[in-house]
Amino acid sequence: MDILTLCNKINLQTEIKNKVLAFEKSFDFKTIDKQLKDFFVYKNMEKARIELKTILGEDKDNIKMLMSMLKASTIAYETYKRKGIEDEIYFSTMKCYTRFIDETYKRTGRFYFDRDWWTTRQAGCHLFRIGALEYEISHIDNKINIELHIPSDSDLSPFSVDQSLTNAKKFFDKYYSEIENTEYYCHSWLLDSHLKTMLKEKSNIIEFQKRFEIFDVGEIDTEFIQWVFNKNSTDTDYTDFPEHTSLQRNIKKHLLSGGVIRSIYGKIK
């Protein structure tokens, strides 16, 4: 696997792909070999990312960081092949780069990469896209959990979620048997109980909530603003928020009345 092949397989935006490939031609990857290898060690990946940014220096539109993440992702392909993980999961996982750049374009009207703080997980073989959902093998306080994430393009219909969870169980049993009995956790604004008053009982989000046992009410969240309203999460002028959907209208009303949305912790029942 090389960067060009990966870019083509994940349909990376042409404008971004050309910049990545142009920079790749003149770059000595030996200068960041240690950092890319450290992505594959969960406890080291954030430190490695920060070191990488320092080494790369000035980085317009974060093209250098994106190139480095893509390079690490091509190395990750070797792990997929060694374990026998199918290409479908590899490319579905790595399409995160294309999705993230699309999201920034929709929000700002400009193509750039802003998610390097997250993609160390994909590049280091810690997170896998399996159907509708993503699954991260996290190592926290010497405990291994599987953290469930909801990509912005997820189909949260009960059938799709059932299929994803079933296939994820098979995936971890087959390729990571050492953690086959690990519990599945989720930390998301989509678990906030306020949504029950804003959506129909049989809506996909409410059906998704029913799968979880809530064990911590978490913290006040603003990230949902990006996903629901296509605004920056720091925007606080709620009066300007769109009202195209019932969810937008209800959350906007909730915010204007002084309400908050929390990022809740739950685990699969």
Residue 171 pLDDT > 80, yes or no? Answer: yes
- What band does 92 get if pLDDT is binned at 50, 70 and 90? very high
Both tokens of 120, joined, read 């160390």
Nearest Cα residue to 76 out of 32, 120, 44, 113: 120
Residue 105 pLDDT > 90, yes or no? Answer: yes
Would the pTM of this model clear 0.75, i.e. be above it? yes
Helices 63-83, 14-25: inter-axial angle, 10-degree rounding: 90
**DSSP letters along the chain, please?**
--HHHHHHHTT--HHHHHHHHHHHHT--GGGGHHHHHHTTSGGGHHHHHHHHHHHH---GGGHHHHHHHHHHHHHHHHHHHHHT--HHHHHHHHTHHHHHHHHHHHHHSS-----HHHHHHHHTT-EEEETTEEEEEEEETTEEEEEEE--TT---SHHHHHHHHHHHHHHHHHH-GGGTTPPEEEEEGGG-GGGGGTS-TTSHHHHHHTTEEEEEEEEEE-THHHHHHSS-TT---GGGS--SSHHHHHHHHHHHTT--EEEEEEEE-
Residue 180 pLDDT > 80, yes or no? Answer: no
- What band does 101 get if pLDDT is binned at 50, 70 and 90? very high
Residue 140 pLDDT > 90, yes or no? Answer: no
What's residue 247's pLDDT? 94
Residue 191 pLDDT > 80, yes or no? Answer: yes
With a CB cutoff of 8 Å and minimum separation 6, the contacts of 68 are 32, 35, 36, 52, 56
Residue 183 pLDDT > 80, yes or no? Answer: yes
- What band does 156 get if pLDDT is binned at 50, 70 and 90? very high
- What band does 143 get if pLDDT is binned at 50, 70 and 90? confident
